[in-house]
Chains A and B, each alone.
Chain A
Amino acid sequence: MNEQPGSEQLSQAANKLEIEQINLFYGSFHALRDVSFTIAQQTITAIIGPSGCGKSSLLRLFNRMNDLIPTARVEGSIRLDGVPIYAPDADVIGLRKKVGMVFQKPNVFPMSIYDNIALGPKSHGLHHKGELQQIVERSLQQVALWDEVKDKLSSPSLNLAVEQQQRLCIARTLAVEPDVILMDESCSTLDPGAIARIEELMAELATKYTIIIVTHSMEQALRVSDMAAFMMFDDKKAGCLVEYAPTLQMFTNPKDQRTEDYITGRYG
């Protein structure tokens, strides 16, 4: 059922994440069934599919956010840079430092712009004022927010516009210097202009980071991603990976009938 073509196009790039026979359960509910694929570094991968097919659940496996759900249980293996992240002795804090996450809504902390960004590095034991200042400046510059906020770093971040807040959230993620950035429908609350600018930013960031996005918008997947993973639920409502291919190839020449139905809008 799982196809893994297309990796050869990106074969120069090393594998960042290797997902092998992943099964996820919430209590007795089988949420993800036998998901396997490989993500190359410094690419943008889009996970698409209908609502409730487990896209977010899959994304949250990469930084072990599912650990927060007491009933969640994972079988199979995911390797980051060859290291299994679900091994019994795996370092979850270290993993989350390497795999950052940007959420759906701009969830800034109700504190100053500076504190929003400094919080992550501080959690990892960095308290040197000068270094923190540098990190704040660099992170804000990476998301093109520095010029707009450099004179009001100590003002409340909730005063920023929605797009600025989401940029701040991305900067906050970058501040802990991750390798991988997970974006869970991070554009869904933005207007079209803002979406275009955030997508531009994603393309820029992909030169340095490995980015995995969950999106409802097939246009967005087509615009920004190198690879696309199409998910669907099987007859038992468990999410599974139907097709994984270079995005352009999937949209022009889908291998699976279900993929074709979905991207041509015949699903549902």
Chain B
Amino acid sequence: MSPHVRRQERLAKGVIWMAAVSVMATLVFIILYILSRGLPVISWSFLTEIPRSMGRLGGISSTIVGSLAVTVVAIVIAVPFGIGTAIYLAEYTRESFITKIIRFSAESLAGIPSIVFGLFGFIFFVIFLNLGWSILSGGLTLAFMILPTVIRTSEEAIRGVPYILREVSYSLGANKWQTVSRVVLPSAMRGIVNGVLLSIGRCVAETAAVMLTAGSTLRMPDSLFAPARTMAVHFYILAREGISLENAYGTAALLILVIFAINVGANILLDRFMTKGR
């Protein structure tokens, strides 16, 4: 290797290393900054009390329930449809005009800004279907929003399963559905779950789409048809209206912790599922 080539090599390595480190550093800085300002605020009463006086006092319990509720509704609706579509695209059809349309629709959905989903949800679910500002409206809107993510990640995971495993399954006398359900899906589970986790993260973090569809009441929701404020919306309003920056950071810290916990928890469960599976 000539000295020139070696210098080039060293330079390239240095630049790439710098890029990776600066990304990591930014991420760590943001997380540490929010946690350092937010963690001192989090206490038992902060988690269990209903917000009082617009959120200046009290805790954030109703917004935790709000976030949980809209996320569960969105996941319960989007995951079966998303995985079903992915199975259809990857296993049950060859590339054709129809698959191109489905994929193009999903890609287009993925590119739409969330506020537009919010507006659509507001017009369609809240007003036209007369569901009002409610957990159901919010959850349905989020379901539409995350559907492309679930479809794409699931389809990729399913396509990533080596073709030979399908052949083995057929050679054992399994039919198509048995092959898909007993061999392909379990083998693709890790990728599928990762997509669902990503979607959960987006649901929990979404602000614009849920504010327009689930409302922003601080009351504790008592049914799917009740309005609710999510943690992300609460954080936005607290900070935007200058109600309590302190509580805003507390909410943000909790959001980060929740998403972190979901990721870690799901991975532990997945490992256990992969090794046991009996």
Chain A residues with a Cβ under 8 A of chain B: 63, 65, 68, 70, 93-94, 96-97, 100-101, 103, 105, 107, 109-112, 114-115, 119-120, 122-124, 153-156, 169, 172-173, 176
Contact = CB atoms under 8 A, between A and B. Distances in A.
A120 B186 CA distance: 15
Interface in B140-199: 162, 164-165, 167-175, 178, 182-183, 186-187
Contacts, number: 81
B162 A107 contact: yes
B171 A123 contact: no
Contacts of A176: 172-173
B173 A68 contact: no
Nearest to B174: A123
Interface of B: 94, 162, 164-165, 167-175, 178, 182-183, 186-187, 274-278
A107 B165 contact: yes
Contact of B175 (A93, A107, A115, A119): A93
A65 B167 contact: yes
A122 B278 contact: no
A119 B187 CA distance: 13
A172 B182 CA distance: 15
A156 B168 CA distance: 18
A229 to B, nearest CB: 21
Given A103-B167, A105-B164, A111-B186, A120 B275 contact: no
Contacts of B175: 93, 123
Shortest 7 CB-CB contacts between residues of A and residues of B:
A120-B172, A123-B174, A97-B173, A96-B173, A101-B171, A154-B278, A123-B178
Nearest to A97: B173
17 contacts: A65-B171, A70-B94, A97-B172, A103-B164, A103-B171, A105-B164, A109-B186, A110-B274, A112-B275, A115-B278, A119-B182, A119-B183, A120-B172, A120-B174, A123-B175, A123-B182, A155-B275
A114 B275 CA distance: 11
Given A105-B164, A119-B183, A100 B278 contact: no
A173 B172 contact: yes
A178 to B, nearest CB: 9
B277 A111 contact: yes
A96 B172 contact: yes
Given A124-B173, A154-B278, 18 more contacts: A65-B167, A70-B94, A94-B173, A97-B173, A103-B167, A107-B164, A109-B168, A109-B187, A112-B277, A115-B277, A123-B172, A123-B173, A123-B178, A153-B278, A154-B275, A154-B277, A172-B168, A172-B172
